[in-house]
Structure 1
Amino acid sequence: MEFHMSSLNFYELDLEKQKTLLEIRFPKRGKCIEETGGLCGQIFIFDQGINVLPRFVCAKIAKPLRYEKKEETSKRFLQELEAQLSFYQNMYVHWITDVDTAYDIPIAWFRYWDSDLLTVIKDNKSNITTKLSMLTYLCAGLEHCYSQGLVAHQDLKPANIFIRNLSKSFRDLPNFNIYEIAMVADFGLANAFQRLKLFDGAKPYKSPEQWSEKQLTSKSDVFSLGVIFYELLSGGYHPVGIKLYEHWPEPMRDNSKKWTRDDVWKKWIKQGALINHKNSDINDELGELISKMLSIDVQVRPTIDQVLNSLLLEVEKLNQDSYEQLIFQLDYFKSESCNTGLEKKWPYLNKKWENLKLKHSKTT
């Protein structure tokens, strides 16, 4: 396999060549075993070996937008990383562990966690307390991000919410069903409506104001969360009435492709974003909360803090011990979150980050 490095545009290579080049550039990271991604980025998952902790890590690179030059793609990715590095100081936010350059493009490294919320939804084995605690952690992570400058994530969906199972790291935890920690991830579209005049997001989760390209706020994310809440608590159903992962992003078996189109989701929004699928696992209080989160009227939607408090009330009704432990965890990790700069909290990463910015400032 031959490459002319002087004229190489990594973004334009096919997937197999990209994987091969990353393995060559980062031999200590092991074998690239899988590739995934979203609207703005590609994720390459590496197996570092059974005797290495963590065994699995992932490298993220930008995915070029249409008609975007290589230098513009790299610049946009650096803006994404800068935002995420300002959010990292919280247990419920997925964090960058390293940054680097390969073939003149910036790369970010992350730990690859046990699971994500999409896998949890598909398995549908978690009990209601575990589900509510995961949603509570998700809200706590977003609350932290908003305090650090996030206006709207814009791409909240189950695949962008990682799950860390603390029971696998700590032995003999009491059986409170609250140890599957949700972490907000993938900030590729964070504040993109401001930075890039881009209102994109995942179609089934996009808020009305994203579709109409109007001012976004944290309540735009609350709408997306309403869809996610319903999907998790109902065993995979979108409020529109379909088991979403069987129809989107790729239809399973002989299912129609219509749910991959924009017009069907715009129609659902235009008709009021109603819950067309009723589920007995969702009680009246949670049903009312989700309905408000899905309101077309931004003013009717609750704030992220109000959503979090509503979830806590539901956990308290289910199990007092779980509630008290959940409150303890939220308070503890909030106190552990810090607003100090990266240079004090993580000097090694700060040095790598400053070098990365300097290198790419000369080429953009």
Structure 2
Amino acid sequence: MTDLSPDAFYELPAPLRSQLLVLWGKAHKVADTSAGFSGEIVFLDNGNGVFPRMTCAKFPRWRQDLTPALRAERFLREIKLQAAAHYHPNVHWPFNVKFILGVPIAFFRRWEGDLSDFIEDSHWGDLGRLSLIIQLTAGLAHCHARGLVHQDLKPQNVFVRDLQSTFSLPPTDLWLRPLVADFGSVNLAADVGEFTGSRPYMAPEQWQQTELGEWTSVFVLGIMLHEIMSRGIHPMGERSHDWHHQINPGFNRWQQNNRWRAWVKKGCPIAQPLPDHDLADLVAACLAPSTTARPSLHEVQAVLLGLMHQRSATAAKHVNLFLDAAESQSAAEEWQHLKGCVEGLERSIKAHYPRNAE
């Protein structure tokens, strides 16, 4: 019997590869495809009358500079870290993993978009925006309590679930639920000395390559709070639209290291403070160059809840119900089904790529 090529999965024509994922994902058809820096995604349509209708399959992107074994091991690391955060309603999670033709595949629920899709939505009011950020602090706090430091936190890595797309609910801005996603960068600084992230959202300590922690997430949360409440303006003073949608020349300009190093060196000044002084003060506190001067995630959450209560006691109560439900649903122990799937994937990778064969 002829041995399969280590890259047999990638050597398949893209349509055939997608159909293979449809088969393993027990879906009806492929809806779309996408690709990021380290992974490729095939969106799957499960058909009418199936819940959830939309799911997706993610697998490592083929890279010539990585062996098949190393690609698989890096992807396994990401999935193990993501599984370690399960379960919290504000953290994205895989519901199954497979090993197909020497390649690890993770299956996820597909949500209604990511945060960058909603930032400039003129129909999304301030209460809904504050609600989402407050819930995001809960998801991040859950991750940090489990020793998980996200180094590439940005709007594209915050998925958004619209509860109104699933349930019959009264019209309000408060039904959007954020989920922390993409765990490929988690703990890279501590584990392998890799500090990078997405330049417009990197904290000073990432540029300086010093210890990362909850304070790093608080810094990025401050950037996103300003961006969300200003409808798309980064604290440094420019609109973020072109960067989010990879439109040049704006996208390439925002990719320049010197641009962001200079902003950090100046002390991360806020060019156009938010008109609400309390929110502006909170953003400034989050963007403090000194890590010890920044508030904790729980302090940020408390301030935002207080500001929301000033605007609407009803809305604040609504968000508190979300937080209480998330706390009660948060699993103290690992989900045994997912744990078993990940352990099976690890065994398959070790058997397929034995160390002494490399």
Q: Structure 2 length normalisation: TM-score?
A: 0.91
When residues 234 and 5 of structure 1 are mapped into structure 2, their CA distance, relative to the original with a 3 A threshold, is farther
Structure 1, 40-49 or 87-96: larger mean CA deviation: 40-49
Aligned partner of residue 173 in structure 2, secondary structure = coil
Structure 1, 125-134 or 176-185: larger mean CA deviation: 176-185
Q: 2:165 matched to 1:168? A: yes
Aligned partner of residue 257 in structure 1, secondary structure = helix
Tell me how far apart the structure 2 counterparts of residues 65 and 285 of structure 1 sit (CA, whole Å): 47
The offset of 1:34, in angstroms, is 2.7
Aligned partner of residue 44 in structure 1, secondary structure = strand
Tell me how far apart the structure 2 counterparts of residues 65 and 230 of structure 1 sit (CA, whole Å): 36
Amino acid at match of 1:34: D
Aligned partner of residue 216 in structure 2, secondary structure = helix
Q: Which residue of 2 aligns with 1:118?
A: 116
Structure 1, 65-74 or 78-87: larger mean CA deviation: 65-74
Structure 1, 239-248 or 91-100: larger mean CA deviation: 239-248
Does the aligned pair in 1 maintain the 2:84–2:146 contact within 8 Å? yes
Q: In structure 2, which of residues 85, 101, 104 is the aligned counterpart of residue 103 of structure 1?
A: 101
Q: Which residue of 1 aligns with 2:252?
A: 257
Q: Which residue of 1 aligns with 2:18?
A: 22
**RMSD of Structure 2 on Structure 1 (CA):** 2.2
Q: 2:320 matched to 1:327? A: yes
Q: In structure 2, which of residues 211, 215, 218 is the aligned counterpart of residue 215 of structure 1?
A: 211
Aligned partner of residue 6 in structure 1, secondary structure = coil
Tell me how far apart the structure 2 counterparts of residues 196 and 41 of structure 1 sit (CA, whole Å): 20
Listed as ranges, the gaps of 5+ residues in structure 1 are none
When residues 60 and 312 of structure 1 are mapped into structure 2, their CA distance, relative to the original with a 3 A threshold, is same
Q: Which residue of 2 aligns with 1:350?
A: 339
The offset of 1:167, in angstroms, is 2.4
Q: In structure 1, which of residues 226, 233, 242 is the aligned counterpart of residue 229 of structure 2?
A: 233
Tell me how far apart the structure 1 counterparts of residues 3 and 273 of structure 2 sit (CA, whole Å): 57
The offset of 1:279, in angstroms, is 4.2
Q: Which residue of 2 aligns with 1:300?
A: 293
Q: Which residue of 2 aligns with 1:268?
A: 263
The offset of 1:12, in angstroms, is 6.0
Does the aligned pair in 2 maintain the 1:167–1:179 contact within 8 Å? yes
Q: Give the share of equivalent positions with the same residue, in percent.
A: 29
Q: Structure 1 length normalisation: TM-score?
A: 0.89
Q: In structure 2, which of residues 76, 79, 91 is the aligned counterpart of residue 78 of structure 1?
A: 76
Deviations 1:235-271 (A, max 9, x none): 111111111122456235x647322211111111111
Q: In structure 2, which of residues 133, 136, 139 is the aligned counterpart of residue 135 of structure 1?
A: 133
Q: In structure 2, which of residues 61, 64, 67 is the aligned counterpart of residue 63 of structure 1?
A: 61
Does the aligned pair in 1 maintain the 2:9–2:101 contact within 8 Å? no
Does the aligned pair in 2 maintain the 1:19–1:44 contact within 8 Å? no
When residues 122 and 46 of structure 1 are mapped into structure 2, their CA distance, relative to the original with a 3 A threshold, is farther
Does the aligned pair in 2 maintain the 1:89–1:338 contact within 8 Å? yes
When residues 25 and 43 of structure 1 are mapped into structure 2, their CA distance, relative to the original with a 3 A threshold, is closer
Q: Which residue of 2 aligns with 1:314?
A: 307
Listed as ranges, the gaps of 5+ residues in structure 2 are none
Does the aligned pair in 2 maintain the 1:96–1:109 contact within 8 Å? yes
The offset of 1:329, in angstroms, is 2.0
Amino acid at match of 2:37: L
Does the aligned pair in 2 maintain the 1:5–1:103 contact within 8 Å? no
Structure 1, 162-171 or 265-274: larger mean CA deviation: 162-171
The offset of 1:335, in angstroms, is 1.4
Aligned length: 350
Q: Which residue of 2 aligns with 1:49?
A: 47
Tell me how far apart the structure 1 counterparts of residues 30 and 291 of structure 2 sit (CA, whole Å): 43
Tell me how far apart the structure 2 counterparts of residues 196 and 136 of structure 1 sit (CA, whole Å): 31
Aligned partner of residue 60 in structure 1, secondary structure = strand
Q: In structure 2, which of residues 329, 333, 337 is the aligned counterpart of residue 336 of structure 1?
A: 329
Does the aligned pair in 1 maintain the 2:22–2:29 contact within 8 Å? no
When residues 339 and 251 of structure 1 are mapped into structure 2, their CA distance, relative to the original with a 3 A threshold, is same
When residues 214 and 107 of structure 1 are mapped into structure 2, their CA distance, relative to the original with a 3 A threshold, is same
Aligned partner of residue 296 in structure 1, secondary structure = coil
Q: Which residue of 1 aligns with 2:7?
A: 9
Tell me how far apart the structure 1 counterparts of residues 8 and 263 of structure 2 sit (CA, whole Å): 39
